[in-house]
Amino acid sequence: MEFSDLKPEEVEKASNMIKAISHPMRLAILGHLGEGNQLNVTEIHNLLGIEQSSASHHLGILKDKGILASVRKGKNTFYYLKRKNLSMLVRCISECACE
């Protein structure tokens, strides 16, 4: 599907997803979840050196915008990219930023 084929409500959804991704911490979370990784909130807050409540907050936003999904395993909830092609987007952003 081409971008020009999107309906106005789909463009709005895409815009909201991009806004959610644009936060530095949320982009960092996506970077760690790329390539099929699944992480829980404790692993994410340790990787990023942020408070667990902050990690939970950012994960909630990403999940609410349809960027992340989660699966419960025992006492832990593991987060992962909802769509595999989001991994390509994160990789493209990191390549563009490093030029």
Q: What is the pLDDT of residues 10-51, one digit of tens each?
A: 999 889 999 999 999 999 999 999 878 999 999 999 999 999
What are the domain boundaries of the chain?
3-97
pTM of the full predicted structure?
A: 0.87
| DSSP-derived 3-state class of residue 12 | helix
Enter the CATH code of domain 3-97.
Answer: 1.10.10.10
Other C-beta atoms within 10 Å of 86: how many? Answer: 20
Q: Say whether pLDDT at 58 is over 90.
A: yes
What is the Cα–Cα distance from 63 to 75, expressed in whole angstroms?
A: 19
CA distances from 92 to 59, 87, 98 (A): 21, 9, 10
| DSSP-derived 3-state class of residue 71 | strand
